[in-house]
Amino acid sequence: MAEIVAGAAMSHVPAIGVAIDQGNTGDAYWRPLFAGFERSRQWIREVDPDVVIVVYNDHATAFSLELIPTFALGCAAEYQPADEGWGRRPVPMVKGQPELAWHMAQSVILDEFDLTIVNKLEVDHGLTVPLSLMFGQPDAWPCPVIPLCVNVVQYPPPTGNRCLNLGRAIGRAVRSFDRDLRVVIFGTGGMSHQLQSKRAGLINSEFDNRFLDLIAHDPRAAAAIPHVEYLREAGSEGIELVMWLVMRGALDENVREVHRHYHVPASNTAVGHIILENETT
Amino acid sequence: MSQDGNQDYHDIPGTYVFDAEHSRKGYHLNMFCMSLRHADNRDAFKADEAAYLDRYPMTGEQRRAVLDRDWDGLLRLGGNIYYTSKLAATDGINFQELAARMTGVSSEEYRAMMLAGGRPIAGNRSKKEWADG
């Protein structure tokens, strides 16, 4: 049977992708950020997952105001990295895992999570930057990817509690898939940041570090954080953190914290990263 | 109370929450920005901005804000940052430079603020803490 062996959360700032693509990761500005991912790249080489599920949000790329799915699951065989307005990132095509993705869709819909099924999806920095952070710059990504898009652009996003429960349903779905696959799930976005208007540049490291503690050890408390608290305390774009709860819900109640990294700034954003393994694996 | 229920976020200073009201107001403005995701549209827009904008039935005020690159005004008029950033990208402006322009400081000042730990949360939670709201 398939199993989810671990989860990881990380920010997905577009400037991180630019730094990687332009070879600037050794610069004084970027070095401390990337240093915190060296252990992570080693870790994921050792875990060597068969599939990665990436929970991320589309940033007005594949979805516009014409169509705003709250949760959308990629069931395609491949995903083209998108031109978001400044050209395509020079990263490999993302290969999908349609068999598992379709199984997940069927399982969670019958589990009463009414996902949108997506068969054509250009993926933006929300998905490709986490892949670059964890896998570096390979000629081909080392494993297939299943994208799960969460709307966090149009208010209101799903609640943290809904995200945690969707994660649990995804965990059940993966465990009921009749093939021996080792799956890792990424929850992406955050941490505190505000990109817009007069309060742009807001960072709240106290909130962020408390959230890192809660996501690891008290996810129910993290799931109870109301939207207004994210907006006020973590900035209008900090509400992306609800996506970490999908990742956390897919893991066991008790997890082993393998690694944690926090760095300010990447462009406008506080970068947070955590790796959690199921204790049973 | 509107149909959106609890709108306690209106007390947050210097912030436009992209809610139902903003989304309805900004639909055509944002869809214009969205079109700039494609290189051929970026070229057409740069060649004749006014003619290109005729394709989108936005308000006169929104149209002026686009032509004037009134970045904060675009948000007030219903723009969303992930959409207006595509207009910025068309001008070669990245998110950090855009943030500097919206907050009215130089790129150097803004970058220095971020390197020093960003805009602090203390004093920035509520409109009551901002003299001009």
pLDDT digits (tens, 9 = 90+) for B103-115: 999 999 999 999 9
> Quick check: B19 and A84 CB within 8 A?
no
Q: pLDDT by residue (tens digit) across B57-99?
A: 999 999 999 999 999 999 999 999 999 999 999 999 999 999 9
CA distance A203 to chain B (A): 5
Helix B95-103, helix A14-21: angle, nearest 10:
140
Q: Does A257 touch chain B (CB under 8 A)?
A: no
Buried b (16+ CB within 10 A) or exposed e, B73-112: bbbbbbbbbbbbbbbbbbeebbbbbbbbbbbebeeeebbe
Q: Which pLDDT belongs to residue B6?
A: 56
Cα-trace Rg, chain B: 16
Nearest CA to A273 out of A94, A7, A30 is that of A7
Give the orientation angle of helix A205-217 with respect to helix A242-250, to 10 degrees. 20
Q: How far is CA A190 from the centre of its chain?
A: 9
pTM > 0.95:
yes
pLDDT of residue B131: 80
Question: In this predicted model, what pLDDT tens digit does every residue of A189-217 receive, in sequence order?
Answer: 999 999 999 999 999 999 999 999 999 99
ipTM of the modeled complex = 0.95
Residues 93-152 of A with CB under 8 A from B: none
Instruction: Return the domain boundaries, chain A.
Output: 3-278
Q: How many other C-beta atoms lie within 10 A of the C-beta of residue B128?
A: 9
> What's the count of helices (H) and strands (E) in chain A, helices before strands?
10, 10
CB A143 within 8 A of CB A185: no
Measured distance CA(A124)–CA(A19) in Å, rounded: 16
From chain A, the residues in CB contact with B34 under 8 A are 60, 64-65
What's residue B133's pLDDT?
54
- Please tell me the predicted confidence (pLDDT) of residue B132: 66
CA A157 to chain B, closest CA, distance in angstroms equals: 10
Say whether B113 and A205 touch across the interface (CB within 8 A): no
List the 231-250 stretch of A: residues with Cβ below 8 A of B.
231-233, 236-237
Beta bridge partners of A56: A149
Show the tokens assigned to A77: 């065989």
Across the interface, of B72, B96, B110, the residue whose CB is closest to A198 is B72
Class of domain B9-129 (CATH, top level) = mainly alpha
SS3 at position A3: strand
Q: In the predicted model, what is the mean pLDDT of residues B30-37?
A: 97
The CATH architecture one would assign to domain A3-278 is 3-Layer(aba) Sandwich (3.40)
Pairing status of strand A51-56 against strand A182-188: parallel
Residue B2 has pLDDT above 70, yes or no: no
Please write down the HEC assignment for all residues of chain B: CCCCCCCHHHHCCCCCCCCHHHHHHCHHHHHHHHHCCCHHHHHHHHHCHHHHHCCCCCCHHHHHHHHHCCHHHHHHCCCCHHHHHHHHHHCCCCHHHHHHHHHCCCHHHHHHHHHCCCECCCCCCCHHHCCCC
B60 burial type by CB count under 10 A (0-12 exposed, 13-18 middle, 19+ buried) = exposed
For residue B130 the two structure tokens come to 């901002």
Q: How far is B132 from chain A (nearest CA, A)?
A: 11
Phi, psi of A258 (to 5 degrees): -95, -35
How many CB pairs lie under 8 A apart between chains A and B?
150
Task: Tell me which of A29, A199, A210 to substitute to probe the interface with B (most B C-beta atoms closer than 10 Å).
Answer: A199
A56 with A188: CB under 8 angstroms?
yes
For A154, the closest of B18, B102, B125 (CB atoms) is B18
User: How many CB atoms neighbour CB A156 within 10 A?
Assistant: 17
Confirm if A183 and A52 have CB atoms less than 8 A apart: yes
For chain A, which residues score pLDDT lower than 50? none
Nearest CA in chain A to B37: A85
Is the Cβ of B29 closer than 8 Å to some Cβ of chain A?
Answer: no
- Only one residue has tokens 């907006």, namely A231
